[in-house]
Structure 1
Amino acid sequence: MIDLHTHSVYSDGTNTPAELVKMAEERGLTALALTDHDTVGGIEPLFEAGAGSSLETVPGIELSAECRKGTMHILGYFIDHTNAALLEKINTVREGREERNHEILKRLNKLGYRLMWTDVEDQAGADVVGRPHFAEALVQRGLVKSRKAAFDLLLAKGRPAYVERYRYTGRECIELIRKAGGVPVLAHPATIYLPDDQLKGLVMGLAEHGLGGIEAYYAEHHPENIEKFRNWAEELNLICTGGTDFHGRNTPDLKLGTGFGQLRVPDEALAQLKAAVGQ
């Protein structure tokens, strides 16, 4: 059993890389990829925690890409997390995220939700502050009943405290991952809200520009979606990958490795990724 899509405290998860490794071992996983949002800060701690373990630890990242309808993320596997170009580009994203975060705080305050920046920082982990930390701060201050309510009322795209931030295009994300020696994979394609013919056209265009895989096996994909994306992968010569998108307490019903209980990511996915980078 493998899980190729997880998050730690270095982005918007609630577990350290060492805790993820321990949990993966306890659940009988053979491989775990850390794919934090727009940061590689957790990769070295992941390697340190996995040293001497039977668990294979995979360096990864999840880059946010421009998307007019829904959400587009590009996963990168087996990246060189010390690559200078990669570090420079994600630093630009980080700066844009910081500007966005302070604007979110201003909007919340203007709407009457009295938060301080320290309230949000207290909920963040070791690295990137994101909307889930705003949501938890709102809950802790008793201003909303739950994280879901915070997103539904305030923080989700289109809601009054939502602020757009700087993102690269999908093609730029692919190029960046390739330059860092990794394999770019389209994450959870069902979150891109396009009709099937347009979505497939988008995937075909990305494949022509170096996309290496598509995340067919995903905790929130219905069986028909999994089958559809598997067929597209076969047609376009893409690797079928998968994972839970585990965030720890931020996704309490989601289990590492199995998602909501039914997810099984084939070992072949990891073997094909390794072959693609010459391992």
Structure 2
Amino acid sequence: MIDLHVHSVYSDGTNTPEELVRMAEERGLAAIALTDHDTVGGIVPLLDAAAGSSVEAVTGIELSAECDRGTMHILGYFIDHTCEKLLEKINIVREGREERNVEILKKLNKLGYVLTWSDVVQEAGADVVGRPHFAAALVKRRHVKTRKAAFDLLLAKGRPAYVERYRYTACECIDLIRQAGGISVLAHPATIYMPDDQLKGLVKGLARNGLGGIEAYYAEHHPENMARFSEWAQELGLICTGGTDFHGGNTPDLRLGSGFGQLHVPDEALEQLKAAKARI
């Protein structure tokens, strides 16, 4: 059993990389990929922890891409986390995220939700501060009952406290991952809200521009989605990958490795990623 989509405290998860390795061992996982949002801060701790374990650690990242309808993320696997170009580009994203955070806080206060930057930072981990941390702070301040309610009422796209932030295009994300020596994969394609023919056309275009895979096996994908995306991957010569999108306490009903209980990511997904990496 493997899990190729995992988050730590370095972005919006609640577990340290060391804790994730221990959890993976307890769950009997052979490998996990750390794919924190727009940061590689957790990679070294992950590799150090995995070195003395039975779990194979895969270096990864999840980049946010421009998307008019829904959400588009590009995963990068087997990246060189010391690549200067990668670090330079994600630092630009970090600066944009910091500017956005200031505006979100201003909006929340203007809407009457008393919240300080200190409240938000206390909910954050070791690196990136984002909307999940605002949601957690709103819950702690008893402005809302749940983090989901915070997003539904205030923080989701189109809601009163939402603020857009800087993102690269999908092709720029793919190229950046390539420059870092990695394999790019379209994450959870069902979160891109397009008719099937348009979505398939998008995937086909990204494949022409260097996309290496598609995340067909995903905790929130219905079986028909998994089947459809797997079929597209075969047709377009893409690798079928998968993972839970585990965030620890931020996704309490979702388990590392198995998602909501039904997920099984084939070991061959990792082998195919390794083979693609070897061809670079």
- Cα distance in 2 between the residues matched to 1:142 and 1:213: 42
Q: In the alignment, what sits opposite 1:62?
A: 62
Post-superposition shift, 1:54?
A: 1.4
Identity %: 80
Letter aligned with residue 120 of structure 1: V
- Give the aligned length: 279
In the superposition, the TM-score normalised over structure 2's length comes to 0.99
Post-superposition shift, 1:274?
A: 0.4
Post-superposition shift, 1:109?
A: 0.2
Post-superposition shift, 1:52?
A: 2.1
Over the residues paired in the alignment, what is the CA RMSD in angstroms? 0.6
- Cα distance in 1 between the residues matched to 2:142 and 2:262: 35
- Cα distance in 2 between the residues matched to 1:186 and 1:212: 8
1:43 aligns with 2:43: yes
Q: In the alignment, what sits opposite 2:139?
A: 139
- Cα distance in 1 between the residues matched to 2:144 and 2:259: 27
- Cα distance in 2 between the residues matched to 1:189 and 1:42: 25
- Cα distance in 1 between the residues matched to 2:86 and 2:212: 18
1:83 aligns with 2:52: no
**Partner SS for 2:10:** coil
Letter aligned with residue 217 of structure 1: Y
Letter aligned with residue 215 of structure 2: E
- Cα distance in 2 between the residues matched to 1:246 and 1:53: 20
CA deviations 1:113-132 (Å, max 9, x no partner) are 01000000000000000100
- Cα distance in 1 between the residues matched to 2:32 and 2:228: 25
**Partner SS for 2:62:** strand
Q: In the alignment, what sits opposite 2:155?
A: 155
- Cα distance in 2 between the residues matched to 1:122 and 1:28: 32
- Cα distance in 2 between the residues matched to 1:121 and 1:210: 37
1:259 aligns with 2:256: no
Q: In the alignment, what sits opposite 2:5?
A: 5
Query: Displaced runs of 4+ in structure 1, greater than 2 A?
Result: none
CA deviations 1:30-68 (Å, max 9, x no partner) are 000000000000000000110121110000000000000
1:13-24 to 2 correspondences below 5 Å: 13-24=13-24
- Cα distance in 2 between the residues matched to 1:272 and 1:188: 19
Post-superposition shift, 1:135?
A: 0.3
Q: In the alignment, what sits opposite 1:241?
A: 241
- Cα distance in 2 between the residues matched to 1:154 and 1:36: 24
- Cα distance in 2 between the residues matched to 1:52 and 1:277: 24
- Cα distance in 1 between the residues matched to 2:153 and 2:4: 31
Letter aligned with residue 62 of structure 2: E
- Cα distance in 2 between the residues matched to 1:102 and 1:244: 31
- Cα distance in 1 between the residues matched to 2:102 and 2:251: 25
- Cα distance in 2 between the residues matched to 1:140 and 1:114: 11
Letter aligned with residue 39 of structure 1: T
Letter aligned with residue 162 of structure 1: Y
Q: In the alignment, what sits opposite 1:178?
A: 178
- Cα distance in 2 between the residues matched to 1:91 and 1:264: 34
- Cα distance in 1 between the residues matched to 2:46 and 2:207: 30
Letter aligned with residue 98 of structure 2: E
Q: In the alignment, what sits opposite 1:115?
A: 115
Q: In the alignment, what sits opposite 2:231?
A: 231
Letter aligned with residue 106 of structure 1: K
Q: In the alignment, what sits opposite 2:125?
A: 125
Unaligned runs of 5+ in 2: none
**Partner SS for 1:277:** helix
Q: In the alignment, what sits opposite 1:206?
A: 206
- Cα distance in 2 between the residues matched to 1:273 and 1:98: 33
- Cα distance in 1 between the residues matched to 2:52 and 2:260: 30
**Partner SS for 2:13:** coil
CA deviations 1:51-88 (Å, max 9, x no partner) are 12111000000000000000000000000000000000
Letter aligned with residue 221 of structure 1: H
In the superposition, the TM-score normalised over structure 1's length comes to 0.99
- Cα distance in 1 between the residues matched to 2:142 and 2:49: 36
- Cα distance in 1 between the residues matched to 2:276 and 2:234: 16
CA deviations 1:132-167 (Å, max 9, x no partner) are 000000000111111011000000010000000000
